Amino acid sequence: MIRTRFAPSPTGFMHLGNLRTALYAYLIAKSAEPKGTFILRIEDTDRERLIEGSLEFILKTLKSVGLNWDEGPEVGGDYGPYIQSERKAGYLKFAEKLIENKTAYYCICSDEECLCKGKQENEIKNAMENGYAIRQAMPKEGSTTFIDLVYGEIKVENKELEDQILIKRDGLPTYNFANVIDDHLMAVTHVVRGSEYLSSTPKYVLLYEALNIKQPEYIHLPLILNEEKEKLSKRRGDANFEDLIEEGFLAEAVLNYIALLGWAPKDNKELFSLKELEEAFYIEGIGKSPSSFDKAKLTWLNGEYIKNMLEDDFYNLVSQHLKSSIKKEVDLKKVASYCKSRVNFAHEVTDLVDFIDELKDYGTDLYLHKKMKTTIEGSILALEEVLQLDLDLEKTIEKLGVKNGQVLWPVRTALTGKPTSFCGAHELIELLGKEESIKRINIGLKMLKGLNL
Ligand code: GLU
């Protein structure tokens, strides 16, 4: 049974790389047969780097995209607690085992130097009380090898590995130690994390070996770069998940987009719900070259999500924007349905509906539509006739014996004053009402006639 974990440190906001790690860890568990378990573990042993509110933020973000964890904070589970600082007591006995077999040693450090040596057993307690740290003793010779399911075989010369701290002076384990122990204790089968941990993994491999415990499978994920091919960074102004949501991207679209940043489906499908991803995901589809965040692509995807939305959902999404831009009594649901296929973001409806309350100044060149072969004279004729025939567009077309567009285009133009609109002349008349439509057609006529023909 596959068990994966997402193991964030509550040291800041969720960047896209974090979210992708969470998503892939979730998908690796959920695409398995039988379905695996997705664990959320909070790695908070580096107390100085903690940022208040960040844990809540991580939980909220995961929930908002539907990455519900089977075990972890709030939901519990058989392997808890799932917050590392609450597991403090358990790590020491593993460290002591390492000291026993001489793969770790005690150190006491001042600002200038560290005094380190293997301690006798009776001194262990004393040493801990006096603020010793425990370090991993790396072998000086040989090499360490492991297989990563994305990057393949990785081999490092042991002499390049530093003796890393396992237990700090405050008695808490470092991330480097805690992740190994907890992955073991939580029976994690697949470790999914960013490629920045690839170079530390040999040290973890040595710990697993020294403790004689089974290693998990490793799946390291390549970096996500920005459009300038730099590592994504908030400081350089790259958007994190929260920023994207604030800009108007839909959480589902962002999640879908992130799924494709480093993973390729077997077919060329691009639109995936989380459920569909659970079915389609496979580990071999993860690539090892860094992928670039492409906002234009995400924008397109967002538009596709909007097009595929149910009418009612779309109305709920845009109703606030509509209500603040339209004071006139019009059928807002209908307006929303006209807008749906024309926007990539909810807020874009504002520009589409700006003609409803008030007709803005426009140029008569808008009446000229090459393809529809409209002319100024023809437009005057069409508008006059439409007024004569009580806004009956069909009758007007018939009576004038012209092409549809030669009537519909001038009327559409007169009613909106815009080069494009989200619906045609018939719908516009219905939307604005007869009285307002007549008023606008008269304005159009006046402008057209005012031209010195
Ligand atoms: N706590 C680490 C982080 O925030 C997780 C690394 C891991 O998944 O092992 O990046």
pLDDT of 118 strictly over 60: no
Return the residue whose CA atom lies nearest to atom 10 of ligand 1.
Answer: 8
Average pLDDT estimate for 192-217: 97
Which positions ≥6 away from 174 have C-beta within 8 Å?
45, 46, 164, 165, 166, 167, 168
pLDDT level of residue 112 (50, 70, 90 thresholds): low
pLDDT level of residue 106 (50, 70, 90 thresholds): confident
pLDDT at 12 (0 to 100): 82
Q: Is the CB of 179 under 6 A from ligand 1?
A: yes
Average pLDDT estimate for 298-317: 97
Most confident of the following: 119-123, 170-174, 189-193, 264-268: 189-193
SS3 content of the chain, % helix, strand, coil (to 5): 50, 15, 40
**127 vs 430, higher pLDDT:** 430
pLDDT at 121 (0 to 100): 47
Distance in Å from the first CA to the final CA of the chain: 82
CA of 43 to the centre of ligand 1 (A): 7
| 286's tokens | 């993860």
* DSSP-based three-state secondary structure for 49: helix
pLDDT digits (tens, 9 = 90+) for 19-57: 999 999 999 999 999 999 999 999 998 888 889 999 999
* DSSP-based three-state secondary structure for 316: helix
Is residue 395 flagged as an active site residue?
Answer: no
Most confident of the following: 11-20, 111-120, 314-323: 314-323
| 309's tokens | 């939305």
Beta strands in 149-238, from DSSP E residues, in sequence order: 152-157, 165-167, 190-194, 217-221, 224-225
* DSSP-based three-state secondary structure for 325: helix
pLDDT at 14 (0 to 100): 84
The CA distance from 115 to 130, in Å, is: 13
| 220's tokens | 């390291």
pLDDT of 421 strictly over 80: yes
On average, the pLDDT of the chain sits at 93
pLDDT at 227 (0 to 100): 86
| 290's tokens | 């860094």
Return the residue whose CA atom lies nearest to atom 2 of ligand 1.
Answer: 8
Half-sphere exposure for 241 (CA within 13 Å, toward CB): 27
- Contact yes or no for 91/167 (Cβ under 8 A): yes
| 379's tokens | 């437009």
* DSSP-based three-state secondary structure for 453: coil
**238 vs 414, higher pLDDT:** 414
Measured from the Cα of 5, ligand 1's closest atom is: 8
Q: Which of 60, 117, 234, 434 is flagged as catalytic?
A: 234
pLDDT at 126 (0 to 100): 56
Q: Is the CB of 200 under 6 A from ligand 1?
A: no
The CA distance from 9 to 17, in Å, is: 13
CA of 7 to the centre of ligand 1 (A): 5
The CA distance from 147 to 201, in Å, is: 10
pLDDT at 401 (0 to 100): 97
pLDDT digits (tens, 9 = 90+) for 428-441: 999 999 999 999 99
| 218's tokens | 């490793």
pLDDT at 117 (0 to 100): 64
Length of the chain: 453
Q: Is the CB of 39 under 6 A from ligand 1?
A: no
pLDDT at 157 (0 to 100): 97
Measured from the Cα of 183, ligand 1's closest atom is: 9
CA of 16 to the centre of ligand 1 (A): 14
Cis before 290? omega within 30 = no
CA of 54 to the centre of ligand 1 (A): 15
Cis before 81? omega within 30 = yes
Angle at 335 between CA 378 and CA 428, to 5 degrees: 20
3-state secondary structure 93-105: HHHHHHHHCCCEE
pLDDT level of residue 234 (50, 70, 90 thresholds): confident
CA of 9 to the centre of ligand 1 (A): 6
pLDDT at 43 (0 to 100): 95
The CA distance from 280 to 287, in Å, is: 15
Which positions ≥6 away from 119 have C-beta within 8 Å?
99, 105, 106, 127, 132
Least trusted range by pLDDT, from 115-119, 371-375, 428-432 = 115-119
pLDDT level of residue 13 (50, 70, 90 thresholds): confident
Q: Is the CB of 45 under 6 A from ligand 1?
A: no
pLDDT at 122 (0 to 100): 46
Which positions ≥6 away from 316 have C-beta within 8 Å?
none
Least trusted range by pLDDT, from 172-176, 274-278, 355-359 = 172-176
pLDDT at 108 (0 to 100): 75
The CA distance from 312 to 289, in Å, is: 41
Return the residue whose CA atom lies nearest to atom 3 of ligand 1.
Answer: 8
pLDDT level of residue 123 (50, 70, 90 thresholds): low
Helix (H) or strand (E) holding 445: helix 434-450
Chain center to CA of 446? 52
Among candidate residues 199, 155, 183, the one with its CA nearest the CA of residue 84: 183
* DSSP-based three-state secondary structure for 134: strand
